[in-house]
Amino acid sequence: MELSEYVQKGFQMLADPGSFDSNTFTLLLRAAFQSLLDAQADEAVLDHPDLKHIDPVVLKHRHAAAATYILEAGKQRADRSTLSTYLEDCKFDSERIELFWTEYQNNRNSLEILLGSIGRSLPHITDVSWRLEYQIKTNQLDKMYRPAYLVTLNVENTDSRSHPEISFSCNMEQLQDLVGKLKDASKSLERATQL
Amino acid sequence: MLLDLSEEHKEHLAFLPKVDSAVVAEFGRIAVEFLRRGSNPKIYEGAARKLSVSSDTVQHGVEGLIYLLTESSKLMISELDFQDSVFILGFPEELNKLLLQLYLDNRKEIRTILSELAPDLPSYHSLEWRLDVQLASRSLRQQIKPSVTIKLHLNQNGDHNTQVLQTDPATLLHLVQQLEQALEEMKTNHCRRVVRNIK
């Protein structure tokens, strides 16, 4: 795990029972998780009465260090032994290691979901809507009398958070072709999961 | 339903009985070709020289024929109605028969060409798919995230357009279910009744 010196120093300071008692330590850890996982979180996360006695600069340093470490651990999918080893190297006592591990376990799922959702991917289909119509005539052609489908795919772009739509028309044969191919894909998926 | 031919149109068509049937048949062939590919003025000049008339006359004759064929095809008029409409022009019987045959032979194709002029949405051409599993990303290692990558081929106004999209297994099943419902809808009583009764 590669952490900058600034972060490492900050993190190591958390181990010192003199400057941080267990209660303060837990509060700070929880604040760090909250900053990362709660979309509405802001600086107020550190406004706890029990943290007021600490110099704000120091507090921010420790908070940032904890948050950075948590992200690294989450990214690497650290297991208990990896975590314990690193925390021991930072001179954390076993009580603090246990506290850290508990908080980490509590928040692990949300952390991994958050990290997994970051990144670029192709536009993602989220939904489909369709319309069936019976075409009767156009200004160029009378007596058409044929059914047609209008299919709209709702698509999400991870980058721009935009929601473009892709619409296209098709007749019955074409829709059957489309559905057939999608069914092939889902059968393939089923088979792959059984391997 | 009879065709409503304007005076100007009748005048243009009046050229046809003045040439023999082989020429009219040739004009008919040119007319359909122009519908397929667009007009080519040089052809008018060549024909005009051979027939010793002005190229304008030839052009009007061919255009009159084109309009006759497209209007008839658009309205999908019956044989009888076509014959009656053309009868008004006072042409010889042989010419009438030729025009009718021209209409019947080319009607389907002309309707296809006319249908391409309708307001055009992108239409489905085909679809390719691929199964992927994401193993890691910059922000998270050791993942197993299955996904389906889809390449959708669409046509619009003759242009081929492709979109590359992705979806997850759950959404894929949802898509299949929704679109199968869409297909089933055509078989319901309601739709069958509409199709039967609007003709």
Of residues A122, A125, A168, nearest to B122 (C-beta): A168
Residue of B nearest to A76 (CA): B141
With a CB cutoff of 8 Å and minimum separation 6, the contacts of B5 are: B13, B68, B85, B88, B89
Residue B111 with chain A: CB contacts under 8 Å: 141
Most B CBs within 10 A among A179, A191, A193, hence the mutation to make, goes to A179
Confidence of residue A172 (pLDDT cuts 50, 70, 90): very high
B85-108 pLDDT, tens digit each: 888 888 888 888 888 999 999 999
What is the distance in angstroms between the Cα of A77 and the nearest Cα belonging to chain B? Answer: 7
Of residues B121, B169, B179, nearest to A128 (C-beta): B179
ipTM value for the complex = 0.77
With a CB cutoff of 8 Å and minimum separation 6, the contacts of A155 are: A123, A124, A125, A126, A163, A164, A165, A166, B165
* Per-residue pLDDT at B74 exceeds 70: yes
Residue B186 with chain A: CB contacts under 8 Å: 132, 147, 172
User: Could A179 and B183 be called an inter-chain contact, meaning their C-beta atoms sit closer than 8 Å?
Assistant: yes
Q: Which two tokens stand for residue B12?
A: 């243009």
* Per-residue pLDDT at A160 exceeds 70: no
User: Could A121 and B166 be called an inter-chain contact, meaning their C-beta atoms sit closer than 8 Å?
Assistant: yes
- Please say whether the beta carbons of B125 and B160 come within 8 A: yes
* Per-residue pLDDT at B75 exceeds 80: yes
pLDDT of the residue at B119? 67
pLDDT of the residue at B179? 95
- Please say whether the beta carbons of B154 and A95 come within 8 A: no
pTM: 0.72
- Please say whether the beta carbons of B115 and A144 come within 8 A: yes
A44-97 pLDDT, tens digit each: 777 787 788 888 888 888 889 999 999 999 999 999 999 999 888 888 888 889
Q: Does A160 touch chain B (CB under 8 A)?
A: no
Q: Does A169 touch chain B (CB under 8 A)?
A: yes
Comparing C-alpha atoms, which of B185, B117, B197 is closest to residue B157?
A: B117
More confident residue, B181 or B38: B181
Q: What percent of chain A has pLDDT over 70?
A: 98
Residue of B nearest to A78 (CA): B141
Q: What percent of chain B has pLDDT over 70?
A: 99
Burial state string for B167-198 with b = 16 or more CB within 10 A and e = fewer than 16: bbbebbbbbbeebeebbeebeeeeeeeeeeee
- Please say whether the beta carbons of B23 and B51 come within 8 A: yes
Q: Which helix (H) or strand (E) holds A19?
A: none
- Please say whether the beta carbons of B114 and A181 come within 8 A: no
Residue of A nearest to B120 (CA): A169
B142-186 pLDDT, tens digit each: 999 999 999 999 988 778 999 999 999 999 999 999 999 999 998
